[in-house]
Amino acid sequence: QSEKTDDDQRWDYLVSEKELDQIKKHIHRAERARGLRDHKYRLPPQKSPREILSPKTFTLEHEKTETIQRRPRAKTKQHQLAWLQEQMQRHRERMIRGRELAEQRKHKRDAQKLAAQAPPVLKPQARKEEVKEFEQITGYPLIQPRWEAPIEVTVLREKSRESNVKKPLRRQLLRMPPFLRSQLENKIKSF
């Protein structure tokens, strides 16, 4: 074995030489893949597809300076805000124009439909004379005097306009239980 320093000997019991070699190889492969430290394995700079496809044209130097158009590299925030506002304004105008065109088309369609249809013939509406009808209803009060003839009350009432007046079924009417009847009779006697 080769001579090792004190630091190496201290760590020998933790990792075997075989494992250390594997770790070093792994680190070497990772560096080579990333192209960090090993200059041998770095890829040469590749040309972009534009440079490969476009043919180079040679011009005179004084012509070059005339044809070059320089554009500002970074737009300021003011320019960006102005551009955004302009885009928003154009969008609003397009939306308004679109709504107007849609409304015009709708009006044209409605006009064509109305022209195609014959105007409806309006019948003269005959006025219905409202005649109030009255009916006489005879009613009997619940409490009647015992020794005299029963009291009748006649009421003149306007007839209801509804033809379907619901009349209660006889089955639904409740009969008076006998104990209540006797109590009422006792109260009437006392009057």
Q: Looking at the domain assignment, is residue 11 inside a domain?
A: yes
pLDDT per residue as tens digits for the range 35-85: 655 555 555 566 665 555 555 555 555 555 556 666 655 668 888 899 999
106 domain-assigned: no
CA distance 40 to 43: 9
Per-residue model confidence as pLDDT tens digits over 14-25: 778 888 899 999
Instruction: Name the residue among 57, 80, 52 with its Cα closest to residue 67.
Output: 57
What's the domain range around 38?
6-44
Give the count of domains, the chain.
Answer: 1
Domain assignment present for residue 78? The answer is: no
- The percent of residues above 90 in pLDDT, for the chain, comes to 18
What is the per-residue pLDDT for 73? 57
Q: Assess if residue 25 is contained within a domain.
A: yes
Q: What pLDDT shows up at residue 25?
A: 93
The residue ranges of DSSP E strands in the chain, in sequence order, are 134-139, 153-158
Residue 36 lies in a domain: yes
Residue 22 lies in a domain: yes
Q: Indicate whether 115 belongs to any domain.
A: no
